[in-house]
Amino acid sequence: MSTGFSAGVIGSANCIYPRTRRSEYSVTVRINIVTIFPEFFDSPLQVSLVGKARQDGLLEVAVIDLRPFGKGFHRQLDDAPFGGGPGMIMMVEPLDQVLAPLAKSHRVLLAAAGSPLTQNRLDAWAEQDELTLVCGRYEGVDQRVADNLIDEEVSLGDYVLLGGEVGALAIIEGVTRLLPGVVGNPDSIATESFRDGLLEEPQYTRPAEYRGWRVPDVLLSGDHGKVEEWRRQQRVERTRSRRPDLLDERGNES
């Protein structure tokens, strides 16, 4: 059974490229993923709007297996840290071999010490012609990679995962939905959470009442002015209760 991928080569590494069909839109971004676990991406890149964007030729993805670039017979990718300490560190040489030829792309390292991933970053990356996501693993990555081969370091949040693969998938979804022709109604992107520095208001659909749980009357009133005012107030109140830090950035809107 076909997976929807065709095989290609970058250097001596195995890569996975999308098989595309014609669309009224052209490919607007190519995303490279550098990982020691390429199989991690097999299913996620084929489903939902990401899979459809690839099939329609709106998005191109290359999954680059770092292992063939490892040192020696065992293709070693990590070593003990200088100065001692727990864990192992991803070595600079294999990553240099992969990333140096991708210098024209915008190279992002997924690491716990990176800056928080934000909507503004996704907006900017969706404008790039080519984006390279480097999935950190082990205890960390040799600092010389970040200093010389990376444009940005980002993290999903204030917690530690096993590696950067989950973060890479989050970025792919976040960027893909911003590409022309991917989301059916582009207006939905303009009014979602974080666009005006606030969280999105509560949303409801049919039925108007279920098990005694009623939709707010204002949404059933047909008064568009009142509905919009209710939504604005809900955005502020929801942000105040859940993310007061966002209101602080806006000057504590009431």
Distant-in-sequence, close-in-space partners of 89: CB < 8 Å, separation ≥ 6? 78, 79, 80, 81, 138, 139, 140, 141, 142
pLDDT 10s digits, 36-91: 999 999 999 999 999 999 999 999 999 999 999 999 999 999 999 999 999 999 99
Distances from the Cα of 101 to the Cαs of 31, 66, 83, 97, 179, in angstroms? 14, 14, 31, 7, 25
Indicate the pTM of the whole model. Answer: 0.84
Whether 34 and 156 map to the same domain: the answer is yes
- State whether 200 and 75 are in the same domain: no
Residue 163 domain-assigned? yes
Whether residue 204 lies inside any domain: the answer is yes
Beta pairing, strands 213-214 & 140-141: unpaired
Considering the domain architecture, whether residues 65 and 160 belong to the same structural domain is answered as: yes
Question: pLDDT tens for residues 163-195?
Answer: 999 999 999 999 999 999 998 777 667 666 677
Asked whether residue 186 is domain-assigned, the answer is no
Same domain, 172 and 225: no
- Tell me, what CATH number does 90's domain have? 3.40.1280.10
**Are 158 and 195 found together in one domain?**
no
Number of domain units in the chain: 2
Tokens encoding 147? 């200093």
Whether residues 29 and 54 fall in one domain = yes
154, 110 contact by CB (below 8 A) = yes
188 vs 32, more confident: 32
Q: Which residue has the tokens 């707010």?
A: 216
- 37 shares its domain with 159: yes
Report pLDDT for 88: 96
Whether 62 and 114 share a structural domain: yes
Give a yes or no: residue 144 inside a domain.
Answer: yes
Give a yes or no: residue 169 inside a domain.
yes
- Provide the pLDDT for residue 254: 53
> Do 220 and 150 share a structural domain?
no
Helix H or strand E encompassing 239: helix 224-242
Per-residue pLDDT averaged across 150-155, rounded? Answer: 98
Q: CA–CA separation, 41 vs 173, rounded Å?
A: 12
Is the pLDDT at 105 greater than 90? The verdict is yes
| Boundary (domain end) residue, out of 148, 176, 204 | 176
Domain encompassing residue 87: 5-176
Percentage of residues in the chain having pLDDT higher than 90: 80
Q: pLDDT value at position 248?
A: 87
* pLDDT recorded at residue 7: 30
